[in-house]
Amino acid sequence: MASPNPPSLRPWTWEDLHFVLIPLMCPGHLIPMVDIACLIAQHRVLVTVATTPANTARVQATVIRATALGLPIRILEVEFPAKQAGLPEGCENVDALPSMALVRNFMAATEMLRLPIERRIREDAATPPPSCIISDRNLAWTADLADDLDIPRVVFDGMSCFTHLCMHNLQLHKPHEKGAGRSELFTVPEMPRRVDFTVAQLPGNFNPPSNIDIQDIRERTRESAERAHAVIINSFDELELEYIGAYRKVVRGGRAWCVGPVSLCNKTAVGMRQRGNSCTAADETAGLIAWLDSHKPGSVIYACLGSLNRVGPAQMMEMGRGLESSRSPFVWVIRGANRGEELDRWLSEDQFEERNRGRGLVVRGWAPQVLILSHPSIGGFLTHCGWNSTLEGVAAGVPMVTWPLFAEQFFNEKVVVEVLGVGVGVGAEEVIHLGEEDKYGVTVRAEAIRDAVVKVMSGGGEGAERRRRARELAKMAAEATEEGGSSALNMRTLIDYIKEQRQAQTSKRIK
């Protein structure tokens, strides 16, 4: 597949900056990284995004649009060694894995990308040599690649400042290993405010799944992240002031910069529609928007559990019933990995869609989430608390129903419900690791979902206060990303830091 071409470049000099971005191939990591690429390119810095053909296909519409606007951004495409790593052909993204048992193979395949990426970078005489690598925290091998190229590595991992700090303090003090049972609360030390969790709510690093052992990979990831020159975070200072302040004190050189919400760089309807999926069809989206247009402002709840969830049909049916009985209009996103056929059979036998016609819309597959959230009729977001989704909810100014499933999502729920006061939980109690859904069956009942939706969508009292706060946060998010805002300034600081590193290297070269 042809990569979009970079805009023509004048002959380069040693001072010219060139950022190489290497995202993890997983929607929640690839999508914000492409947003970050666009944000950096807005500073007239050449950006290369290294990825593989199936992932290029997902993001190329965004890159083509950016280059058409004159932004110096291009894709460096290398083949994904699926077969060599024991993966099905074309399986180039975590969301396409037939089973989570293949995660180790997937990570091995990403490691095989190192040599072709390095070769292509070294052979490219048309562009300035890279001045830094910004890579996903989970791609530990990119630390060695940066060392070999003698350039700084900046890490990105779609987590909040709160989570970064929690993870740091858990790793350092190991309070979860000090005798508390799986469902007993313990306090995370050295947090700006008291934060309690149970072991069962912790991400896989501290609460490993029983079916997949990747602790060695996690350990290597952690070690390589500690060697990084800087960290960039998809959040904004004003949202997590106490947490970014505390995190800067423990991160190398204090170089942790919030540059988000990065989704806000998608300003046009077409940009929002194609974000993360170049193929989202205009006509399908038009139907969705017309449906949203037919509802009152702030009246619809949008329900989506992210790009990776494998929630089984029985639990999804509870979700459908919960949305239906809330009496709010709803948009409900269902993935194939929810065992779509079984779920579809239930939907049709139950006449769910007929019964809810006009009031409920089922979206199968990929939903243009940021576009939907930006619609005035959306008044609430039922989310699994992936950090991207959480921040997209914040940026859209809507209160949230929180249903954390896996990874660090219980941390994000804590941010939404307790720190920001813009959410109501469905009462999820423990992490259900990806691939272990069947072991748990139904853990959240329709009534709990209904009650949380009713509270979030209600007009008066606490509901109104949550709504007011959510609107206030959205205003702060927009201001942070505008010229002169904290995230825009932090991006400038990152670029200036890399420029200083390059200048220091250049003067060494001259001497």
| Site residues (vs ligand UDP, CB under 6 A) | 27-28, 31, 158, 276, 304, 306-308, 333, 366-367, 369-370, 386-389, 392
* C-alpha separations of 305 from 182, 332, 365 in Å: 25, 9, 12
Q: How far is the CB of 394 from ligand UDP (least distance, A)?
A: 12
Q: How far is the CB of 22 from ligand UDP (least distance, A)?
A: 18
3-state DSSP call for residue 74? strand
Of the pair 261, 313, the CB lying nearest ligand UDP is at: 261
Of the pair 370, 498, the CB lying nearest ligand UDP is at: 370
Three-class secondary structure assignment of 450-473: HHHHHHHHCCCHHHHHHHHHHHHH
Q: Bridge partners of 301? A: 330, 380
What is 335-385 written as a DSSP string? -GGGTHHHHHHHHHHTTHHHHTTTTEEEEES---HHHHHTSTTEEEEEE--
User: Exposure of 88 by Cβ count < 10 A (0-12 exposed, 13-18 middle, 19+ buried)?
Assistant: exposed
Q: How far is the CB of 388 from ligand UDP (least distance, A)?
A: 3
Q: How far is the CB of 158 from ligand UDP (least distance, A)?
A: 5
Q: How far is the CB of 439 from ligand UDP (least distance, A)?
A: 19
Of the pair 73, 367, the CB lying nearest ligand UDP is at: 367
Residue nearest to ligand UDP (CB): 386
What distance in Å separates the CA atoms of residue 391 and residue 474, rounded to the nearest whole number? 10
What distance in Å separates the CA atoms of residue 80 and residue 58, rounded to the nearest whole number? 15
3-state DSSP call for residue 442? coil
Q: How far is the CB of 127 from ligand UDP (least distance, A)?
A: 29
Residues 238 and 476: beta-carbon distance below 8 Å: yes
Q: How far is the CB of 26 from ligand UDP (least distance, A)?
A: 6
Of the pair 310, 467, the CB lying nearest ligand UDP is at: 310
Residues 94 and 55: beta-carbon distance below 8 Å: no
- Per-residue buried b or exposed e for 465-504, using 16+ beta carbons within 10 Å of the residue's own CB: ebbeebeebbebbeebbeeebbbbebbeebbebbeebbee
Tell me which H or E stretch contains 300: strand 300-304
* C-alpha separations of 156 from 23, 36, 51, 63, 333 in Å: 9, 10, 16, 20, 28
Q: How far is the CB of 86 from ligand UDP (least distance, A)?
A: 24
Query: What region does 190 belong to: left with phi over 0, alpha with psi -120 to 50, or beta?
Result: left
Q: How far is the CB of 94 from ligand UDP (least distance, A)?
A: 8
Of the pair 29, 176, the CB lying nearest ligand UDP is at: 29
Q: How far is the CB of 106 from ligand UDP (least distance, A)?
A: 15
3-state DSSP call for residue 20? strand
Location of structure tokens 């023509």: 8
Q: How far is the CB of 408 from ligand UDP (least distance, A)?
A: 10
Of the pair 58, 229, the CB lying nearest ligand UDP is at: 58
Of the pair 370, 457, the CB lying nearest ligand UDP is at: 370
Of the pair 369, 486, the CB lying nearest ligand UDP is at: 369
Q: How many Å is the maximal CA-CA distance in the chain?
A: 77
Of the pair 141, 403, the CB lying nearest ligand UDP is at: 403
Residues 151 and 229: beta-carbon distance below 8 Å: no
Q: What number of CA atoms fall less than 13 Å from residue 247's CA on the CB side? A: 25
Q: Bridge partners of 285? A: none
User: Residues, the chain, total?
Assistant: 511
Q: How far is the CB of 390 from ligand UDP (least distance, A)?
A: 7
Kindly report the number of other CB atoms within 10 A of residue 396's CB atom.
25
Question: 482: which residues sit within 8 A by CB, 6+ positions away?
Answer: 488
Of the pair 169, 412, the CB lying nearest ligand UDP is at: 412
Of the pair 338, 377, the CB lying nearest ligand UDP is at: 338
Q: How far is the CB of 25 from ligand UDP (least distance, A)?
A: 12
Of the pair 131, 207, the CB lying nearest ligand UDP is at: 207
Of the pair 304, 419, the CB lying nearest ligand UDP is at: 304
* C-alpha separations of 297 from 88, 372, 474 in Å: 45, 13, 17
